[in-house]
């Protein structure tokens, strides 16, 4: 979530780089060497903590896990070449059988849950991001207009953002209790966290509560860059409120909005804390990340295949979104900070 803000800032920067442009033309070898020395520690550390583990995981995802060999009935030490079996296990939900073949994984095993978990994750992503950007846009438009109380609201907005997700999850668990405040207010007796759709709604409500104000803050930053003269001119030319919104506001906040949507999407696609604590992943709230963590203790090489599939899918979705919004994030950054 926090990263979204950083990047947006850099994207916006590209318009305001001002006099720094002239430095682009010359590449001084001494300066390059200095830059390399300054950046090396960061790259080395990230290569060690992120790069190496990921390469190792990809390698391991092609190996067998230790366990009873279903074909021979003997204990198998694992780590033998396994081809793409770990991948077909997850992608086609196929489990090994005693005769060495494969069959659909039985209900309830982790192997049978891959597409279900991925579907739920995508569902959470689409619904929460849609709610958060729509409501966040509304909040931002109002905050941009209001002069009294804006400082107060801006402080309030940072509070859901600052509360750790672990605490947020516990807080909503209390609110969602069958005897809890929400049921009392609504006059209902929902068992919010113990059946399918109420449990999913609970996750969505808690996430929307926590993140909408933050999205509003990001959009507000974009709105404040739009000059009032633009609206005045459009008004004189006879544009009505809706036209001014769709022809001026939306196009001008689009870069900020696109970055917020892309990074929020990436965040929800790896959602773990909220469902893991609020519902324990039960009642159809097992996200892809929860599935990986469950698999960790029952076969690390298979878990490696699962986490590889998960990040490849997330990467593909991110790539698609960047194309969809035509947002040149990396390019904008490179340009912006020169």
Minimum distance of other proteins from residue 51's CB (angstroms): 8
Helix (H), strand (E) counts: the chain: 16, 4
Segment 175-194, which members bind other proteins (CB under 8 A)?
175, 177, 179-181, 184-185
Q: CB-wise, 92 or 272, nearer to other proteins?
A: 272
Site residues for other proteins, 135-164, by CB under 8 A, read 137-139, 141-150, 152-160, 162-164
Tokens at 197, concatenated: 């759709």
Stretch that binds other proteins, among 98-106, 109-117, 169-177, 190-198 (CB under 8 A): 169-177
Instruction: Establish if 296 lies at the interface with other proteins (CB under 8 A).
Output: yes
Q: Which helix (H) or strand (E) holds 17?
A: none
The contact mask relative to other proteins for 47-66 (x = CB under 8 A, - = no) is: --xxxxxx-xx--x------
Nearer to other proteins, 146 or 324 (CB): 146
Burial 184-210 (b: 16+ CB within 10 A, else e): eeeeeebebbeeeebbbebbbbbbbeb
State the pairing for strand pair 94-96/102-104. Answer: antiparallel
Contact 125, 269 (CB under 8 A): yes
Provide the minimum distance between the beta carbon of 75 and other proteins in the complex, in angstroms, as a whole number: 19
Among 122, 127, 293, 322, binds other proteins (CB under 8 A): 293
Minimal distance in Å, beta carbon 318 to other proteins?
Answer: 7
Residue number with CB closer to other proteins (149 or 251):
149
Residues 6 or more apart whose CB falls under 8 angstroms from that of 49 comprise none
* The CA-based dihedral angle spanning residues 80, 82, 87, 93, taken in that order and rounded to the nearest 10 degrees: -100
* Interface with other proteins (CB under 8 A), residue from 126, 174, 191, 316: 174
Please say whether the beta carbons of 49 and 268 come within 8 A: no
Least CB distance from residue 52 to other proteins, whole Å? 8
Residues numbered 245 to 264 that lie near other proteins (CB under 8 A) are: 245, 249, 256
Q: At 274, list the tokens.
A: 């909220």
Site for other proteins in 71-100 (CB under 8 A): none
Q: Which of 84, 86, 279, 117 is nearest to 200 (CA)?
A: 279
What is the size of the binding site for other proteins (CB under 8 A)? 131
Among 62-70, 100-108, 190-198, 273-281, the segment contacting other proteins (CB under 8 A): 273-281
Closest approach, Cβ 156 to other proteins, in A, equals 4
Dist CA 285 CA 274 (whole Å): 10
- Measured between alpha carbons, how far is 53 from 153 in angstroms, rounded to an integer? 43
> Which residues fall within 8 angstroms of residue 245, CB to CB, at 6 or more apart?
none
Nearest approach in angstroms of CB 61 to other proteins is 9
Residue span binding other proteins (CB under 8 A) among the ranges 25-33, 70-78, 79-87, 98-106 = 25-33
Q: Residue 54: which residues within 8 A CB-CB, separation 6 or more?
A: 311
- Specify the stretch interacting with other proteins by CB under 8 A; choose among 66-74, 131-139, 186-194, 196-204: 131-139
């Amino acid at each position: 979530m926090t990263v979204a803000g950083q990047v947006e800032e850099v994207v916006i920067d590209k318009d305001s780089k001002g006099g720094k442009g002239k430095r682009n033309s010359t590449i001084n070898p001494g300066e390059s060497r200095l830059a390399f020395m300054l950046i090396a520690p960061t790259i080395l550390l990230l290569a060690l903590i992120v790069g190496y583990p990921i390469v190792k995981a990809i390698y391991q995802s092609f190996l067998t896990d230790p366990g009873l060999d279903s074909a021979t009935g003997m204990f198998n030490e694992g780590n033998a070449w396994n081809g793409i079996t770990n991948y077909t296990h997850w992608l086609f939900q196929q489990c090994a059988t005693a005769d060495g073949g494969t069959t659909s994984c039985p209900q309830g095993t982790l192997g049978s849950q891959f597409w279900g978990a991925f579907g739920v994750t995508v569902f959470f992503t689409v619904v929460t991001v849609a709610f958060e950007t729509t409501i966040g846009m509304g909040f931002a438009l109002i905050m941009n207009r209001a002069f009294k109380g804006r400082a107060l609201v801006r402080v309030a907005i940072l509070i859901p953002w600052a509360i750790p997700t672990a605490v947020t999850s516990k807080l909503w668990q209390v609110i969602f209790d069958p005897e809890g405040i929400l049921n009392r207010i609504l006059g209902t007796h929902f068992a919010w966290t113990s059946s399918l759709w109420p449990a999913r709604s609970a996750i969505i409500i808690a996430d929307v509560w926590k993140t909408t104000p933050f999205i509003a803050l990001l959009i507000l930053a974009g709105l404040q860059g739009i000059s009032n003269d633009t609206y005045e001119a459009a008004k004189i030319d006879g544009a009505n409120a809706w036209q001014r919104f769709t022809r001026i506001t939306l196009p001008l906040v689009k870069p900020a909005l696109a970055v917020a949507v892309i990074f929020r999407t990436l965040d929800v696609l790896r959602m773990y804390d909220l469902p893991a604590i609020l519902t324990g992943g039960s009642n159809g709230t097992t996200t892809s990340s929860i599935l990986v963590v469950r698999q960790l203790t029952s076969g690390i090489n298979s878990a490696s295949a699962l986490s590889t599939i998960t990040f490849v899918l997330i990467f593909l979705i991110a790539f698609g979104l960047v194309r969809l919004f035509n947002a040149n994030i990396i390019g904008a950054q490179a340009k912006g900070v020169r």
